Amino acid sequence: MEYYTYQQYQESAAALQKKLGDFRPRVLLVLGSGLGGFADEIRQVAIVDYKDIPGMPVSTAPGHVGRFVFGYVEETPVVETFTVTLDANG
């Protein structure tokens, strides 16, 4: 298992702050299969690809875009991402 240093977390946070400015999400939406299209319903402020965040692993799962979508659902500031869970049998 790989662990991240405090410095790496700081670099990741700084990269996100640079892209987001004053926007601060209050809710994290982690969506799974069948709900990935929900991001289209978000009034988007920014989209940040995982590859643009220092230290963030890039997704290799089929169909996984590998990004965070920042914006609003109604008046609530949110960040959305998509996850894939594979069972032990593949």
The pLDDT assigned to 83 comes to 62
pLDDT digits (tens, 9 = 90+) for 28-46: 998 876 776 777 889 999 9
Q: What percent of the chain has pLDDT over 90?
A: 53
Distance in angstroms (rounded) separating the CA atoms of residues 42 and 37: 10
Distance in angstroms (rounded) separating the CA atoms of residues 33 and 85: 9
Cα-Cα end-to-end distance for the chain: 20
Strands (DSSP E) contained in 1-90 are 27-31, 43-49, 67-73, 76-82
Distance in angstroms (rounded) separating the CA atoms of residues 67 and 37: 13
Output DSSP code: residue 42. Answer: S
Whether the CB-CB separation of 28 and 76 falls below 8 Å is answered with no
The pLDDT assigned to 36 comes to 64
